[in-house]
Every structure is written in structure tokens, then in C-alpha cells.
Amino acid sequence: MNLTHKEVKSYLDRFWAEVGEVNEVQVVFIPSFTSIPAFADALEESPNSSELGAQDMHWEQGGAFTGEISAGMLQALRVKHVVIGHSERRQWFGESDAIVAKKTAAALQSGLHPILCIGETLAERDGNRVEEVLERQLRKGLGDCSARDLGSVVIAYEPVWAIGTGKTATAAQAQEAHAFIRSVLVSTFDLATAESVRIQYGGSVKPENAQALMAQKDVDGALVGAACLNAESFARIVQCAEKEQPPSIA
């Protein structure tokens, strides 16, 4: 819940001036709903290719759901990606695994690319329940997704204990969690499908740790939170991602 539509142009001007030419990284901006139209217009005129995402959506296409927004409404604003099941939605708005699954299915059916967020709390990590929590959230969040559907899904691992706290999972901890997530995808689908899925890390990503995180074998990009509020900071994270292969979403 940051950045008004009036601040978009200044933000993007600073971002593009800092980041320079972007060739190997897919960049997706995911602003507040009211800033989406301004971003959409500005990105059409930007020097680099980038795409637009939304922070949430409802699972129905329309109806008596006051305050909600549908996939069709987002697509009319040139949105291609949508974050589903972010830890703050789960924590503050009571989103269950069942709701996350409905939103994921609705996004896929509408042609949007879901960024499915999963992650454990500090209590769950301290209780040695990391794998249990990640597997449950992943399997239930994907619901009845087919291997073909999975090609349109990005998984974002966000350890809740590292979001907005200044704490960050070490590169080794991130790799361990991402490798486990990929192993669940292997057992659910197959090796080739699992290896093609992008798994992002999200949890206090900043320029100082971005390159070490994204250098890990199973870390395919970053879901950036607070650090992207500063355009120059976000640009430096994108530059870190560009040094790694394969191409990543930041």
C-alpha cells in the first residue's frame, strides 16, 4: 500500500536512469491497484521491456463482492501477472489455503500468470515444520493444476519471519527451501516440469544480498518488497539478477 499514481512517472524515470539497459531479466512491476493505469501507460513508453502485475484478485469474474477486483478488470488494465496468497493476505485478511487455490485456478483460467506465495512463520521454523508447511501450502495452493498449467505459474518462497524484519534467510537456507519446493513439484508432476518452474525468493531482498541469493541453483529470481520502494535500490537488485542465469523475475 505505497505509491500514488502521481508518483509513478518520477519513480520510473529514476529506475530506468539507474538500471540502464535490461536484456536478460524479466522485470514485473506490481503496484497498488490505483497506480496500475499510470504504470501501464508509462511502461508502454519505457526504453526496456517490462510487464505489470497486481497484488491480489478475487476468484469470481464479477458479482456482489464489494471492494474486490476480478481477473477481467486487471486484464483490461494490461495486467499479466497477479500475486496470490502473499503472507500479508494470509496473516491480516485470513486467506486460507482453500481461498489461495481458488484464486490460483481463477487466474490460470483467465490467462493471468499467478505468483503463488508460500512460506513458514518463525514458530513453524523453530518447530522444525518448514517442509510440512511448504508442502501443504504448495500442494493445496496449486489445487488441480496440470503440468501444462504449471508452466504459467511462478512460486515465491517468502519466509514470513524474514519479511519486513530486516532478517534474511541465508543463501544456504534459501537454497535448501527452494530445492525442497522443487522436489515436491517433481513428485507431483515430473522432473522436466519441475525444473522449468521459476521459484523466487522473497524476504528482505536488498542490493547487498540479492546476488548471493540468486546465485543459488534453485533460486530463479526475487519477489522484492520494501527495497523496491526506492527506485535506485530496485534497479540495483535487477542488475544483480542480470548477472545470473537463467533469466529471472524481479
Give me the phi and psi of 117, to 5 degrees please. -95, 135
Helix axes 207-214, 171-188, angle to 10 degrees: 40
In this prediction, residue 38 carries a pLDDT of 97
DSSP codes, 129-197? -HHHHHHHHHHHHHTT--HHHHTT-EEEE--GGGSSSS----HHHHHHHHHHHHHHHHHHS-HHHHHHS
Give the whole-angstrom CA distance, residue 218 versus residue 179. 6
Residue 5 has pLDDT above 60, yes or no: yes
Residue 93 has pLDDT above 70, yes or no: yes
Residue 247 has pLDDT above 70, yes or no: no
Domain residue limits at 123: 5-242
Residue 250 has pLDDT above 60, yes or no: no
Classify 33 as helix, strand or coil. Answer: helix
Tell whether 10 is covered by a domain: yes
pLDDT band at 169 (very low <50, low <70, confident <90, very high): confident
Catalytic residue among 86, 178, 242, 244: 86
Residue 248 has pLDDT above 60, yes or no: no
Give the whole-angstrom CA distance, residue 28 versus residue 50. 6
Split into its structural domains, the chain has a count of 1
Angle ∠(213,129,168) on CA atoms, nearest 5:
25
Size (the chain), residues: 250
Instruction: Tell me what the mean pLDDT of segment 135-161 comes to.
Output: 96
CA 65 to chain centre: 25
Percentage with pLDDT > 70 across the chain? 98
Tell whether 249 is covered by a domain: no
51 is annotated as an active-site residue: no
Tell whether 248 is covered by a domain: no
Strand partners, 221: 249
86 is annotated as an active-site residue: yes
116: its cell numbers: 503463488
Span 170-196, pLDDT tens digits: 999 999 999 999 999 999 999 999 999
Tell whether 250 is covered by a domain: no
Span 23-56, pLDDT tens digits: 889 999 999 999 999 999 999 988 788 999 999 9
In this prediction, residue 182 carries a pLDDT of 98
pLDDT band at 162 (very low <50, low <70, confident <90, very high): confident
Tell whether 247 is covered by a domain: no
Catalytic residue among 88, 95, 120, 158: 158
Q: Kindly report the CATH number assigned to the domain that includes residue 79.
A: 3.20.20.70
Q: Are 115 and 82 in contact (CB under 8 A)?
A: yes
Q: Distances from the Cα of 86 to the Cαs of 18, 64, 157, 158, 243, in angstroms?
A: 28, 24, 10, 8, 27
Average pLDDT value for the chain: 94
